[in-house]
């Protein structure tokens, strides 16, 4: 069964946010590398921990998008 417009929008939004998290994690990894090269290992490690959280959240959002596609999560509007 094809997705309704609201569910298509939800799936697209979830995928878009997951993509934004991935891009942010990549950029943060570059910052962490520069911090480490500058001798600021404590801050580099803190930024890398943030990257791990972003990657986990990215995976979770991608899973939600898959659930929307499979029809397990649905968006409905009243009005």
Mean pLDDT across the stretch 26-41?
98
Whether 63 maps to a domain, the answer reads yes
Of the pLDDT bands very low, low, confident and very high (cuts 50, 70, 90), residue 75 is confident
Whether 64 maps to a domain, the answer reads yes
The number of beta carbons lying within 10 Å of the beta carbon of residue 6 is 13
Whether 33 maps to a domain, the answer reads yes
Q: Is 61 exposed, middle or buried (0-12, 13-18, 19+ CB in 10 A)?
A: buried
Whether 36 maps to a domain, the answer reads yes
Mean pLDDT value across the chain: 93
- Domain of residue 62 covers 5-69
Report how many domains make up the chain: 1
Whether 79 maps to a domain, the answer reads no
Distance CA 57, CA 74 (A): 20
Whether 76 maps to a domain, the answer reads no
The answer to whether the CB of 36 falls within 8 A of the CB of 44 is yes
Say whether pTM exceeds 0.75. Answer: yes
Whether 74 maps to a domain, the answer reads no
- pLDDT for res 1: 66
């Amino acid at each position: 069964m094809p997705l309704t417009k609201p569910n298509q929008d939800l799936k697209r939004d979830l995928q878009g946010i997951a993509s934004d998290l991935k891009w942010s994690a990549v950029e943060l990894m570059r910052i962490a590398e520069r911090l480490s090269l500058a001798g600021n290992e404590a801050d580099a490690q803190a930024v890398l921990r943030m990257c791990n959280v972003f990657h986990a959240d990215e995976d979770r959002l991608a899973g939600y998008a898959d659930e929307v596609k499979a029809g397990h999560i649905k968006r409905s509007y009243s009005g």
